[in-house]
Structure 1
Amino acid sequence: MKIPRIAVLDRDKCQPKKCATECESFCPGVRVGDETITLDEKGKPIISEELCTGCGICVHKCPFDAIHIINLPEELEEQCIHRYGLNGFALYNLPIPRKGKVTGMIGKNGIGKTTALRILAGDISPNLGEDESASSRDLKEFFKGSELQSYFESIEDAKISYKPQSIIDLPSTVEGIVGELLEEVDERDKASQIARSLDLEGILDREISALSGGELQRVAIAAASVKDSDLYYFDEPASHLDVYQRLNAARSIRKLAGEDKAVIVVEHDLAALDYMCDYVHVVYGEPNVYGVISEPRGVRKGINVYLDGFLKEENVRFRPDSIRFKTRAPTEFQEGKTPIFEFPDLVKNFDGFELKVEEGEIFSGEIVGVVGPNATGKTTYVRMLSGDLVPDRGEIDEKLKIVHKPQYPEISHEGTVMSYLYEKVLEFDKKFETEILKPLKVEDLLENQIQTLSGGEIQRTVIAACLGQSADLYLLDEPSAYLDVEQRLEMARAIERKIESKNAAALVVEHDILTADYLSDRLLVFGGKPGEKGEAKGPLGMREGMNLFLKEVDVTFRRDPRTGRPRVNKPGSRLDTEQKNKGEYYYT
């Protein structure tokens, strides 16, 4: 059987000035006179995929893990949609837009989901694995007989609306008043209706530059939704949104499909993905090397297949172990020791906003989840604990050693990830490498320049820097933002290991119900009126805390019977009504 083989070089990791070009020196093909590996003008290897035998010697000899040789199934040989140049990332297949349906994509970061969206949005011209972009005739021939044939036949005339992955840089590219900006791009006379559905009415008169991350996200969703398009693409619309806002965004996106529009969504929040989609494409592969988009499946089956790590129809196992979640309420945290940290009643006032936090205590060895709607003071509370803000009433114990991972991590350091971590982490030892760097996949980034990192890579780097420091209390604000499902679980396990080994404590602000449940021993619950007043209660036991929180946002969850993953109950459904009557919004 002929096996298609791709050779991929991570050019950021390749450091020819720091090695002896072992890839070329040890290659058996080069030793017998073939040009299997040659060096370009910068001394970096060019690997001939035709001459490569797949022995893997160059992969193992490279001191920077910059080379990947991948043997792919024969059926993928003619399915390459796009290749980022010679020895670059390769994408196989595309998701299928369907009118009147919401189609989701789920998979690791760095395996082509955003690239696929950009191809369908017309931002990238696919090259079908060749050196130059494919012509319209080539694309029509390539997709002949498939569901994508008609799409590419009409792509030049199709109107496309695209909500990009990152919205943090939006204020630097767009200036003005929110309401006026939405009116400017409104092509369907729907600005008022969509602003109401996304709870934007209170910020329509504000400047874009004055918005929080969650507000920017909702404005970006609204701006994409008001355009009169045939196809709508939303890249991670749930990031920085609380549970209530995520479900509002999901409903708003579903309404577009109800208007006979085709919608594609990339999302890592399984509950939100499940709630908004009709179909799901599982995307598998190796980050920054290659990605394969599988055939569409019904949303429940598709998510469960992803968690299983096995595509039965394609006979592909892309993960050695299945992902399963807790199916019972966790036992209440046993105190039994002196608190590591006690905080008094705290009050902080801003112009038009007041935060009140009841006194509480945190014990060594425990992780307290911080949950609640956006704009009720969670980040303000964390910043008071870290010393970034001074309370108007109440005092924080300044003797306690506290490390803080902020909500929106920014790294001003110039240099590599390695040099940044050496600057932050005093004990850069084997334990730090095996318990934090390796599980978070930061080990793979050490030679990368800080300024080249993606949002998810920056997040993992900053989490590693936080957990690598010695402290009594770790504060992590929205650590799951921009992380995929597997990275979120690894992040949660890394926090657990750190707290257990150091007998310290952690406060973790989290909007992903799955992550909050997985991590937390107890919950600090925020409520109040977003943007006007915030009130915090706790820490409370998990059952009491989750019921209080979900009652506040009026949402109930059930468990998938096979995987244990949380699924949102439809408002007014039998399960939703039964659980609300019992006062059990999550644990049943």
Structure 2
Amino acid sequence: LDVRQRLNVAKAIRRLKTEGKTVLVAEHDIAMLDYLSDNVCLIYGSPGVYGIVSLPYGVRTGINIYLEGYLPSDNVRFRREPIRFHVKPPTTAREYETPLFQWTKLEKGYEGFNLKVEAGGLHAGEVIGVLGPNGIGKTTFVGLLTGEEKPDKGDFLVTPGEASISYKPQYVSAEYPGTVAEYLKEAGAEFESERFKTEVLGPLGLVKLLDREVGGLSGGELQKVAIASCLARSASIYILDEPSAFLDVEERLAIAGVIRRNVEGPGAAALVVEHDIVVQDFLANRLMVFLGEPGREGQASQPLELREGMNSFLANLKVTFRRDPQTGRPRVNKEGSKLDRYQKEIGEYYYVPLREE
């Protein structure tokens, strides 16, 4: 589900409460869980070995405890390091010295659908997030970047040496007759490096899966292997289409950190299509926003500074976010609340500036 669809589902679930019904929800999207829940229980332990369910907490307190990784009531630390969200200073293309890939205004049409893309580019060391509803042309744009599709209008301006691209598609196939280790070794030479083992395999929890058959993996395990496969290739640009699908909260934030480190160190760039607002906030330096009429026409912005991009996207949804003062995570404001009305009034849909919080 895209962001609008997730919000509509969350609203429908909350309406059940007014009918006197009790609803139990398991959800990996923190922002949506926060929006639709009154109380939360935390489940922690060792995957595949044991799990422990905590007592209920108020939704804000419970999610913050989860991110902190420490359960004060039981004096239990279930994660070595807390997860922190940092408000990023505004960034523009001018701050990045090396353009790796650039495009002019692009157009691509099919029978009944047309996509228009503003001119833009990817620079060394940055992650560009892509936000927009389903059926609006995001995957078509990715196809234009990878060369699987040709634009009807426009062109690409590639720096000398030509940009090399590694791509993780939206849908991942399990049809490989071998182990995870064999699959990753075939994917790219980076698999053999110590850096890859430390910065990719370890954080993604793939070391214990290396001897498993690819065909026997779960959806989440297969997704992590596909991400690792993409990052194992030596490339200047990494494109990942919906990398958080099938992953839990901790895994989503782990892959965000892995992608960032893989881009910042070698001086590469990444473009990430993702519906999870929290993941995009954690990951992206800039955003491309896709708007329009799903299934008929899409318009893609140039890469925008993160705050500007989020504000544009959320204004279209008529949804406002604030930041939790303890963890810095984005939180959806309840529709019609005092803060929701105030932020809409001043045109700050993403979050109220820190000096005003």
Q: TM-score range by the shorter chain?
A: over 0.9
Given the alignment, which residue of 325, 333, 336 partners 1:561?
Answer: 325
User: Within 2, Cα distance between the matches of 1:555 and 1:242?
Assistant: 14
Q: Which residue of 2 aligns with 1:418?
A: 181
* Superposition CA RMSD, Å: 1.6
User: Within 1, Cα distance between the matches of 2:71 and 2:164?
Assistant: 47
User: Within 2, Cα distance between the matches of 1:299 and 1:278?
Assistant: 6
Given the alignment, which residue of 164, 169, 182 partners 1:401?
Answer: 164
Letter in 1 for 2:56: P
User: Within 2, Cα distance between the matches of 1:321 and 1:336?
Assistant: 30
Are residue 246 (structure 1) and residue 9 (structure 2) matched? no
Higher mean Cα deviation, 316-325 or 377-386? 316-325
Higher mean Cα deviation, 552-561 or 304-313? 304-313
Partners of 1:527 and 1:535 within 8 A in 2: yes
1:521-560 matches, within 5 Å, as 521-560=285-324
1:66-81 matches, within 5 Å, as none
TM-score (norm 2): 0.93
Q: Which structure is higher in RCO with an 8 Å CA cutoff and minimum separation 6?
A: 2
Given the alignment, which residue of 433, 457, 460 partners 2:197?
Answer: 433
Given the alignment, which residue of 504, 508, 515 partners 2:272?
Answer: 508
- 1:372: how far off? 1.6
Partners of 1:348 and 1:391 within 8 A in 2: yes
User: Within 2, Cα distance between the matches of 1:533 and 1:335?
Assistant: 32
- 1:353: how far off? 1.2
Are residue 310 (structure 1) and residue 73 (structure 2) matched? no
Q: 1:338 to 1:305 in 2, by over 3 A?
A: closer
Letter in 1 for 2:269: A
Are residue 284 (structure 1) and residue 284 (structure 2) matched? no
- 1:394: how far off? 2.4
Q: 1:338 to 1:316 in 2, by over 3 A?
A: closer
Are residue 343 (structure 1) and residue 103 (structure 2) matched? yes
Given the alignment, which residue of 477, 490, 495 partners 2:259?
Answer: 495
Q: Which residue of 1 aligns with 2:346?
A: 582
Q: Which residue of 2 aligns with 1:294?
A: 54
- 1:292: how far off? 1.0
Letter in 2 for 1:307: L
**1:524 partner SS:** strand
Higher-Rg member (1/2): 1
User: Within 2, Cα distance between the matches of 1:337 and 1:472?
Assistant: 14
**1:538 partner SS:** coil
Q: Which residue of 2 aligns with 1:14?
A: none
User: Within 2, Cα distance between the matches of 1:529 and 1:473?
Assistant: 29
- 1:567: how far off? 1.0
Partners of 2:90 and 2:307 within 8 A in 1: no
- 1:338: how far off? 4.2
Task: Give the number of aligned pairs.
Answer: 347
Q: Which residue of 1 aligns with 2:80?
A: 320
**2:52 partner SS:** strand
* 1:144-170 per-position Cα deviation (integer Å, ceiling 9, x unaligned): xxxxxxxxxxxxxxxxxxxxxxxxxxx
Are residue 370 (structure 1) and residue 123 (structure 2) matched? no
- 1:390: how far off? 2.1
1:255-266 matches, within 5 Å, as 255-266=15-26
User: Within 2, Cα distance between the matches of 1:254 and 1:571?
Assistant: 12
Letter in 2 for 1:332: T
Partners of 1:335 and 1:363 within 8 A in 2: no
Q: Which residue of 2 aligns with 1:331?
A: 90
- 1:286: how far off? 0.3
Letter in 2 for 1:321: E
User: Within 2, Cα distance between the matches of 1:541 and 1:308?
Assistant: 28
User: Within 2, Cα distance between the matches of 1:419 and 1:257?
Assistant: 50
**1:502 partner SS:** coil
Letter in 2 for 1:415: G
